[in-house]
Amino acid sequence: MTLDRRTLIAATAALALGAGSATTAAAAEKWDMALAYAATNYHSEIAAEFAAAVTERTGGELEIVTHPGGSLFPGNEIYTAVRRGLVPIGERLISALGNDDPMFEIDSIPFLASSFAESRKLYEAVKPDLVATLDEQGLVFLYSGPWPPQGFYSIREITTPDDFAGLKFRAYNATTSRIAELLGMVPTKIEAAELQQAFAQGVAESMISSGSTGYDRKLWEHVGYFYDVQGWLPRNMVVVNKEAWEALPEEVRAIVLEEAAKAEEAVWSKAEELSQWYVEQFTVEGMQVPAVPDSVSAKFKEVGEQLLSEWLEKTGDRGQAVLDAYRAD
């Protein structure tokens, strides 16, 4: 059977369309995004919104799928997994990376920045150094957002600094471990996903963390006291493997950056909105939220000054430059 001219043209067009579709499909990227915190945590919720917005705006050319709760990689493995290209994108608590570079610890120095305004100013001061450091490590910085101010959780009442002695303390980075040591507590490294089990089994008896973490893990089931010391506001960051980033078309990268900027503003806004709400919920659930005794507050500030001095010894001119920028009018 011989094809007429019209049939031949239609067949050729169909083949061309099929080839074009195949090319489009081949060009599409799917990124799995590793997250350490529960799906209901605002960091994870905003990351999911970011992922959905990128997927929609790129028409699926870049699809990002989030994996909360450490389901893809445990929290302490996410940063390394992204660096090695085992996953293209992930979120990590910055101060937990102090062993990679002590500059990462700046936002967990007690009482250096205790309010959202101070924390934002500190972030802007350190951001250029942060971005450059990540670039050297084969990573691209997308956005960063804070946790609410850190409070002290304890299974027993704290009326004087002597009451810290011997408490098993959940640490999540080198700075919190050092705080425990200076206060006479016994630090042990525990990731957020393991908190309930750790407190239920007596592996942990105290910790310094945000109201968000305590609320997500229902710590009122195991912990009787929360002291709103507002020590500092640690931040998470979302980073991308540089090779995966550079493989994206320029127009896709532009969309990702635009949505990342929106996500950053959303995280800061949500953290501030929820900050006091979390503390109120502790009271509703039967936790005691007493005022911080003056002697305890003074001890925390003393520890903060010592940690700042130790941090500056480790970071030298880099740390001093960021500190000067932060403290400039």
Do residues 214 and 278 lie in contact, with contact meaning Cβ atoms separated by under 8 Å? yes
Three-state DSSP at 86 gives: coil
Do residues 238 and 79 lie in contact, with contact meaning Cβ atoms separated by under 8 Å? no
Task: Indicate whether 195 belongs to any domain.
Answer: yes
- The neighbouring-strand residues paired with 32 are 65
Query: CB under 8 Å to 166, separation ≥6 — which residues?
Result: 184, 185, 186
The sign of the dihedral angle between the CA atoms of 187, 189, 191, 197 is negative
Sequence-ordered strand ranges (E) for 112-167 = 139-146, 151-154
Which pair of structure tokens corresponds to residue 248?
A: 């994206």
Total number of domains in the chain: 1
Task: Indicate whether 148 belongs to any domain.
Answer: yes
Per-residue pLDDT of the chain (329 residues; tens, 9 = 90+): 343 443 333 333 344 444 443 334 446 899 999 999 999 999 999 999 999 999 999 999 999 999 999 999 999 999 999 999 999 999 999 999 999 999 999 999 999 999 999 999 999 999 999 999 999 999 999 999 999 999 999 999 999 999 999 999 999 888 899 999 999 999 999 988 899 999 999 999 999 999 999 998 999 999 999 999 999 999 999 999 999 999 999 999 999 999 999 999 999 999 999 999 999 999 999 999 999 999 999 999 999 999 999 999 999 999 999 999 999 97
pLDDT of residue 325: 97
- Give the domain extent around 259: 29-327
CA nearest 102: which of 178, 175, 192?
Answer: 175
Task: Indicate whether 10 belongs to any domain.
Answer: no
Q: CA dihedral defined by 173, 177, 182, 183, rounded to 10 degrees?
A: 110
Task: Indicate whether 15 belongs to any domain.
Answer: no
pLDDT of residue 329: 77
CA nearest 92: which of 53, 141, 138, 129?
Answer: 141
Task: Indicate whether 9 belongs to any domain.
Answer: no
Burial, 22: exposed, middle or buried (Cβ in 10 Å; 0-12, 13-18, 19+)?
Answer: exposed
CATH number at residue 68: 3.40.190.170
Task: Indicate whether 188 belongs to any domain.
Answer: yes
pLDDT of residue 164: 98
Task: Indicate whether 183 belongs to any domain.
Answer: yes
Helices (H) and strands (E) in the chain, counts: 10, 10
Sheet with 139-146: strands ordered across:
62-67, 29-34, 89-93, 235-241, 139-146
Which pair of structure tokens corresponds to residue 162?
A: 């002597």
pLDDT of residue 191: 87
Task: Indicate whether 176 belongs to any domain.
Answer: yes
Burial, 246: exposed, middle or buried (Cβ in 10 Å; 0-12, 13-18, 19+)?
Answer: exposed
